[in-house]
Amino acid sequence: MRLSNYFLPILKEAPREAEIVSHRLMLRAGMIRQQAAGIYSWLPLGYRVLRKIEQIVREEQERAGAVEVLMPTIQSADLWRESGRYDAYGAEMLRIQDRHEREMLYGPTNEEMITDIFRTYVRSYKDLPLNLYHIQWKFRDERRPRFGVMRGREFMMKDAYSFDTDKESARHAYNRMFVAYLRTYARLGLQAIPMRADTGPIGGDMSHEFIILASTGESQVFCHKDVLELKVPGEDTDFSSDLTPIVDEWTRAYAATDEMHDEAAFAEIPADKQVSARGIEVGHIFYFGTKYSEPMGAKVAQADGSEQAVHMGSYGIGVSRLVGGIIEACHDDNGIIWPEAVAPFQVGLINLKSGDAATDAACADLYEKLNKAGVDVLYDDTDGRAGAKFATMDLIGVPWQLIVGPRGLASGEVELKRRATGERETMTIEAALSRLTDAQD
Amino acid sequence: MRLSNYFLPILKEAPREAEIVSHRLMLRAGMIRQQAAGIYSWLPLGYRVLRKIEQIVREEQERAGAVEVLMPTIQSADLWRESGRYDAYGAEMLRIQDRHEREMLYGPTNEEMITDIFRTYVRSYKDLPLNLYHIQWKFRDERRPRFGVMRGREFMMKDAYSFDTDKESARHAYNRMFVAYLRTYARLGLQAIPMRADTGPIGGDMSHEFIILASTGESQVFCHKDVLELKVPGEDTDFSSDLTPIVDEWTRAYAATDEMHDEAAFAEIPADKQVSARGIEVGHIFYFGTKYSEPMGAKVAQADGSEQAVHMGSYGIGVSRLVGGIIEACHDDNGIIWPEAVAPFQVGLINLKSGDAATDAACADLYEKLNKAGVDVLYDDTDGRAGAKFATMDLIGVPWQLIVGPRGLASGEVELKRRATGERETMTIEAALSRLTDAQD
């Protein structure tokens, strides 16, 4: 993408309303624009990142055997009356009347609707296990939305729902999502720690939050240092096998959010192994048994002919929230430092002297070759000052900067800068190309 | 995907409420489930098709130089008061009050919001031309939603908005979208005809509808036969060049919807060149000048220093509607016949004797090899009857059926059936594999 054809409205100053660093950086980098309290437009740079995160989340859901659907944003109030949550949900639910005065709502979550889909079509234990997920916008009418996309009202969530004949098999379903989550966050470039969680209003007796560590995190978390050194399950993980050993390994050591923290238990950990840090919740998984299937009549025939309410779990990842979460974990004073997998572009190509024929030609050639090799390049072909170009690339956090100017070109050389470390290296054009196209594999 | 792990709730009978063939087939093929009047869940098969269409639409928007953003579904009423449309829009607008009693709405379209984004950031003619698009769910509270996804209330639309300094350059922007639309529909496997259109409530003086021909289409259309033989612009079209000749070629001959039909002009066409057919609207493009930029103050500084309201156009494609539109154009008595580019799976692999060790092994091997070659396969590994398996594959319209049974295997052979023609051919396993993996390229 040539910057001259792109829409990247960089702001020089952080707007006053932004209290946390990710919100400030997303506004400054032209990633989002607030349209109303807690409601954002995603500008081109922000939307690229959102879609990359979404795609990684999707791939790991599919790997774990979940099947994608898409439920609508608008739901009927009647469905929520069946579960008893219509009245219980409170002011956070955005309630709507349509032109025929039917009561509707903007879905804050989808347990009721997915249970309705299930009961419509599934009759037999033979069709289980089943896990259906979707990635869709939700609305929660927070009293005081803030922190940008970290706590918006309209937000994108991946929510998966598992259906099983009994608790034992529901536990397998739970474990599959547990492992999928470990893999998802690792691929996003994050260190995430599963922590035993309160089940809250969704209910149930098995639940974990996934917390990423970030010095600017919203809450205090506590864990054993060993958890930070565990190996994330590989691509070759067999999701049809018993995943209990992996889950056990990841839940053995102490790890708790502030709410669930047990001072006495934590004190028993050797002092040099105690980790107390700031964290951000980026996922939450629940097993809640027949809480919805029972009142809503989602039953399946068992092998013995009896009918049984299906055992369910739900599994959420805040996809739009993750954009902010990743920035909280990955930034410095100059701006964002995207992990490669979610970077909006892999390479920022900086033309130090736009208008100079030789420099323009060299840049155009590099741009074309990188694109052909499948590398996402943002080419700053504008006539801005070099200093401003560097600052912009630092701010938007592109992992590699490829700097091309007339002086270097005279000896066939360009400069390659790695955003994460600030490391700069002068090398031939060919060396830079092969470095960047290799990095892509 | 193994059918035993998938969620494909086929219905034996078409539900009574479905009046048109695409609605009936989408319900029978387990593509959608109605959640409320005009509001659908997309089940796995339907969602796959929707996403394939969405991706083709996106690629052609990008090729034409449009830049993707995502605006939220919920908008502030104040924005619509600025353009005067808040009161004018009528009952089709879903109006909402949030917990603080602020007036909001579920966006039926986005002219106001995109104009707001533009005026926030863009100041100079140097930043033009600009075309921003998004693919997002919209809501129009139709009095009587019907015809399934063809006329739903919650629907997915691609809407692009162009910004230019003057009318002449706005015409170039319009032409780029015109050509992008021709390419988009052709890639979707559709024959689409641009027809001069009424500009309706959006206003403006240059507008075309894109109509696909389908014997079950919703409205009568009229055109010169020559239009049906025009060549769609290729991948190598240079969108920075003057596209007027292409647009002229496509708009020279007579083509009109019922509303715009001119009996006298049509009568002048030689009788053997008169085409009168049924059609479905699948896209609509408009140039409307300063209709929104003027009242909303979206101005840019011109080269001469003066300030000028920006010239705009908007360009819509009904993405979810297209799923129904394609089925209307592509089906027979047995079910859907997907064009290759949007098919949910390329190949349906039918195991004629699940449980038979040799057949299972051969199928598993084919399944793995096709997947490895990047072919999307739906493998019917269930223990259903052969007849039912054939009927399902015909119904869901997978382009190729690969039929594997013990008798054929005894002589190393399988059968390959092409859904579109019904043509069946017996061949060796290797021949079938190479046919299917070649077809993929």
For residue A317, give the CATH number of its domain.
3.30.930.10
The mean pLDDT of chain B is 95
- Residue B359 to residues B29, B381, B384, B414, B434, Cα–Cα distance (Å): 27, 10, 14, 11, 20
Q: Which of B4, B24, B11 is nearest to B328 (CA)?
A: B24
B43-62 average pLDDT score? 98
Same domain as A156, residue A136? yes
Q: Do A104 and B44 touch (CB under 8 A)?
A: no
Same domain as A414, residue A268? no
Q: Which residues contact B321 (CB under 8 A, 6 or more apart)?
A: B149, B150, B151, B152, B155, B282
Same domain as B349, residue B332? no
Q: How many domains does chain A have?
A: 2
Label residues A393-419 b or e (16+ Cβ within 10 Å = b).
Answer: bbbbbbbbbbbbbeebbeeebbbbbeb
| pLDDT of res. A16 | 85
| pLDDT of res. A440 | 52
Same domain as B322, residue B359? no
| Dist. CA A233–CA A217, nearest whole Å | 25
Same domain as B140, residue B43? yes
Residues 109-148 of B with CB under 8 A from A: 113, 116-117, 120-122, 130, 132, 137, 139, 141, 143
Same domain as A132, residue A10? yes
CATH at B361: 3.40.50.800
| pLDDT of res. A206 | 87
Q: Do A47 and B30 touch (CB under 8 A)?
A: no
Same domain as A330, residue A368? no
Same domain as B254, residue B310? yes
| pLDDT of res. A198 | 74
Chain B residues within 8 A of A137 when measuring between CB atoms: 72-73, 137
Task: Using pLDDT thresholds of 50, 70 and 90, give the confidence band for residue B341.
Answer: very high
B237-241 average pLDDT score? 96
Strand, helix or coil at A228? helix
| Dist. CA B344–CA B55, nearest whole Å | 13
Least Cα separation, residue B292 to chain A (angstroms)? 17
Same domain as B118, residue B12? yes
| pLDDT of res. A130 | 98
Q: Do A44 and B69 touch (CB under 8 A)?
A: yes
Low-confidence ranges of chain A (pLDDT < 70): 199-205, 439-441
For B156, the enclosing helix (H) or strand (E) is strand B154-164
pLDDT reading at B200 higher than 80: no
| pLDDT of res. A280 | 95
**Which residue has better confidence, A197 or B241?**
B241
Q: What are the two backbone dihedrals, phi and then psi, of residue B132, each rounded to the nearest 5 degrees?
A: -110, 135
Which among B336, B358, B387 is the end of a domain?
Answer: B336
Domain range for B410 is: 345-440
Rg of the Cα trace of chain B?
24
pLDDT reading at B202 higher than 60: no
Residues 15-74 of B with CB under 8 A from A: 30, 33, 35-36, 39-44, 47-48, 50, 65, 67-74
| pLDDT of res. B216 | 81
Same domain as B366, residue B266? no
Residues 142-181 of B with CB under 8 A from A: 143, 153-154
| pLDDT of res. B441 | 46
Nearest to B36 among A94, A104, A106 (CB): A104
Q: How do residues A371-425 score in pLDDT, each as one tens digit?
A: 999 999 999 999 999 999 999 999 999 999 999 999 999 999 999 999 999 999 9
Q: Which of B382, B313, B332 is nearest to B170 (CA)?
A: B313
Same domain as A379, residue A324? no
Q: Which of A185, A418, A421, A216 is nearest to A327 (CA)?
A: A216
pLDDT reading at B201 higher than 80: no
Sequence-ordered strand ranges (E) for B299-369:
299-301, 307-309, 311-318, 331-332, 335-336, 347-351
Same domain as B224, residue B150? yes
- The answer to whether the peptide bond before residue A129 is cis (omega within 30 degrees of 0) is yes
Q: How far apart are the first and last CA of chain A?
A: 20
Task: Using pLDDT thresholds of 50, 70 and 90, give the confidence band for residue B196.
Answer: confident
B84-108 average pLDDT score? 96
Classify the complex by whether its ipTM is higher than 0.85, answering yes or no: yes
Task: Using pLDDT thresholds of 50, 70 and 90, give the confidence band for residue B215.
Answer: confident
Residues 73-92 of B with CB under 8 A from A: 73-76, 79, 91-92
Which among B336, B358, B377 is the end of a domain?
Answer: B336
Q: How do residues B101-158 score in pLDDT, each as one tens digit?
A: 999 999 999 999 999 999 999 999 999 999 999 999 999 999 999 899 999 999 999 9
